[in-house]
Amino acid sequence: MSPLRLLLCAFPFCLGWVAWWAAHEATAARTRRGGDLIAMLPGPLPELNPFLPSSPTEKELVDLIYEPLLKIDSSGQLAPALASHWEWSQQITLWFPSTEIATQAAEHLRSLDADRWIALTLDKVIPESNQLTLRFSSPTGSGPDETLNELASFEPLTITFLRLHLKEQARSYHDHFMANAVEHQQIRRAWFDRSDQITELVVCGSPGNVIEELRQYYLSKPDLLPDIQVLDKVTALREPVLHFRITPDRLWPDQTPVTAIDVTSTVSHVLRHRVPIASLDALNAIHSIETPAPDELRVIYRRFQGAAITAWTHLPILPGTWLEAHSAETNPGFPPGTGPFRPTLRNENTLILDAAPTARVRIGRIRLQAGASARATHAAFATGGIDLFWPPNDRLPALKKEPSLILHASPPKGRLLVIWNLRTPVLKDLRIRQALALGTDRPLLIDELLHGAGSLHDGIFQPNIWFSKPPPPLKYDPHQASTILDSAGWLKDATTGFRKKPGSTLAIELLTTAGNPQRERLARLLADQWRALGFTVNITALPWSDLLQHHLLPRRYDAAIIGLDFDPSWDQLPFWHSTHATNPEALNFSCLSDTDTDLLLETLATEFDPASVSKHAIPLDAHIAQLHPFLPLFTDQQIVAIRRAALPPGTTDGLSLAEWALQPAAPSTPDTSPPSIQMRLPDEALTPPPARSNAKP
């Protein structure tokens, strides 16, 4: 036998031996430690970026290490994390012609009796120079309006909102203007949008001089294309305030307490570096954060948006001292966290998370191995070397037949949908959109593309959250779809099978993302189903940046496949409100413009009580479902394969990695298992176990 043939014959044996050895070592290590959880990742070890986890699995791991102020718990409810208490209130600021008048206005309010203060929900009156700040215990209600009526006779100064739009980032120009402007004291607030190209100014008193100074300042900078607009005039500046109290005795690994300064440092870090987290827009709406005590925060917002509270479920809090010490480092390692697990080892192929000393968890250590080949993973699982792994979707049909494991689906991270442009000649007809929805076999798409690792969800809100009760999924009914198209006047050509009207054909262009094989295949499957209904469908694959900048934002398209991550926010106004239908910077890509939808969206956006959200969210969800501005396709689900025998007692349906690790520690029981058989290679001498000693310390 030639050396080459010998090598080729030996290769499968060597690969199998390596897998067996890895499994043996993992099993032996687990036996020595006890209570460990060993997992084979679907790819390389994660970076564990606390702000930007790249996959649902990495998000689970990040959540074990880092904590936000609030969280969405396993039942879908808003729950405490680092914050033990939170509540909304309201702050109103007025300015008067003089300090004396502001003082008189304050004294007038203080002269009201206690019952009147309670009726007004008024908590504090704070005069400072010619400014008067009023604090109310509720963000809503009639109390603030009644209080302003009490102060009307003192003639507070008018407040004007100005918007300045530049071609470049505006912050540095604003700072330079404020340092040199004669009327700079009239500008009491300055807010910047996410891109820093738009500045909103709050001007106290007559704005004429400020506007003229702004025009003169930017007259010498025509390349910035400055655009100054007067937005609104009011008598008082109203700002909602979110108050947090940090849970007592929460400590960092170095035993220093978690404080309000850590929160402000984290927010500053994210905003300064424009970290693209899901809650960045809500954080950008913060005017200021006050820290009246080490364990208290007052977050003052510039917009009344009750759903802003959910942004704090996205923001892992990091220690302020660590952020300051590592602000200039590109790869500073793992930041400290307050979660129940801490990373203690990372090398090329292994990541170990150990339970924090005070954590009450079932698992003491999580050992994560970098993804191996399908054969090595299967061998490690078969020999007991790993407890769970994340199989590729094409392996799921075979794994479903394995009696030794359970397949568990993680909650969906996002979804795929087809967004319709409701201003196109064809798709502006509701009947056409209804027919396309009825004529799309979505379960078939899940089977064809995901091998069953997906689910249907027709609502606009995140599934399995306390206020989300979506309408039932629309069923596949091509016969009804054909009936609707016939009634709309689109009849099938007997020769071609395509539907026509005199002078036109039923045609749409479907845009998808180029370079993404799954999206391109999805487009072909959809086109085949719609062609069966009689549509002429043209598919165009474009790079995502091109699709977004040149088609979605300017609303130049018929239909497009897009993916959206789920968000616990209940504010859906940016996606469906008519004021965002034509704004090239807004997200209402469908161009939906409907008065009833607008009213429902506005009511929901200003709801501050989480317990009351569902009474607004459910009707909105049902109403938008009737309008069909988009076609929901399916959600993504990451499937984990779990050794059935390794699950905690009483578990039948599987657990996610986080659920498994965070279960309360089981009561200790004596180890009555027989001694494990020591495994060895054929040429390795058997090493006797060490002798037991009865000696006591």
Pairing relationship of beta strands 504-505 and 491-492 according to DSSP bridges = unpaired
Residues 488 and 363 in one domain: no
Q: What is the spatial distance between Cα 688 and Cα 604, in angstroms, rounded to a whole number?
A: 71
Q: Assess if residue 597 is contained within a domain.
A: yes
Residues 580 and 649 in one domain: no
Residues 376 and 458 in one domain: no
Contact 630, 419 (CB under 8 A): yes
Q: What is the spatial distance between Cα 44 and Cα 37, in angstroms, rounded to a whole number?
A: 18
Nearest to 318 by CA among 658, 47, 46, 67: 67
User: What local confidence, expressed as pLDDT, does residue 682 receive?
Assistant: 34
- Give the containing element (helix H, strand E) for 470: none
Number of domains in the chain: 3
Query: Which residue shows structure tokens 């008189």?
Result: 104
Query: Which residues make Cβ contacts (< 8 Å) with residue 576, sequence separation at least 6?
Result: 460, 588, 590, 592, 597, 601, 624, 629
User: What local confidence, expressed as pLDDT, does residue 329 receive?
Assistant: 64
What global pTM score does this model have?
0.84
Residues 164 and 59 in one domain: no
Q: What is the spatial distance between Cα 265 and Cα 285, in angstroms, rounded to a whole number?
A: 16
Q: Assess if residue 190 is contained within a domain.
A: yes
Contact 483, 475 (CB under 8 A): no
Residues 405 and 550 in one domain: no
Residues 392 and 499 in one domain: no
Q: What is the largest CA-CA distance in the chain?
A: 106
- How many C-beta neighbours within 10 Å does residue 42 have? 16
Tokens of 530: 């719609």
Q: What is the CATH number of the domain that holds 35?
A: 3.40.190.10
* Residue 263: φ, ψ to 5°: -70, -50
Q: What is the CATH number of the domain that holds 490?
A: 3.10.105.10
Q: What is the spatial distance between Cα 406 and Cα 288, in angstroms, rounded to a whole number?
A: 49
- Give the containing element (helix H, strand E) for 501: strand 499-501
Residues of the chain with pLDDT under 50: 1-34, 666-697
Domain holding 218, by residue range, is: 159-234
Q: Assess if residue 27 is contained within a domain.
A: yes
DSSP-assigned states of every residue in 380-413: HHHTTS-SEE---GGGHHHHTT-TTEEEEEPPP-
Contact 117, 95 (CB under 8 A): no
Residues 441 and 387 in one domain: no
Nearest to 388 by CA among 411, 405, 400, 373: 405
Query: Which of 182, 205, 234 is the C-terminal boundary of a domain?
Result: 234
Query: Which of 602, 636, 670 is the C-terminal boundary of a domain?
Result: 636
Residues 511 and 658 in one domain: no
Residues 420 and 564 in one domain: yes
Q: Assess if residue 480 is contained within a domain.
A: yes
Residues 397 and 536 in one domain: no
Residues 366 and 494 in one domain: no
Q: Assess if residue 530 is contained within a domain.
A: yes
Residues 531 and 392 in one domain: no
Q: What is the CATH number of the domain that holds 225?
A: 3.30.70.100
Nearest to 648 by CA among 449, 363, 376: 363
Q: Assess if residue 548 is contained within a domain.
A: yes
Q: Assess if residue 119 is contained within a domain.
A: no
Q: What is the spatial distance between Cα 603 and Cα 586, in angstroms, rounded to a whole number?
A: 20
Q: Assess if residue 690 is contained within a domain.
A: no
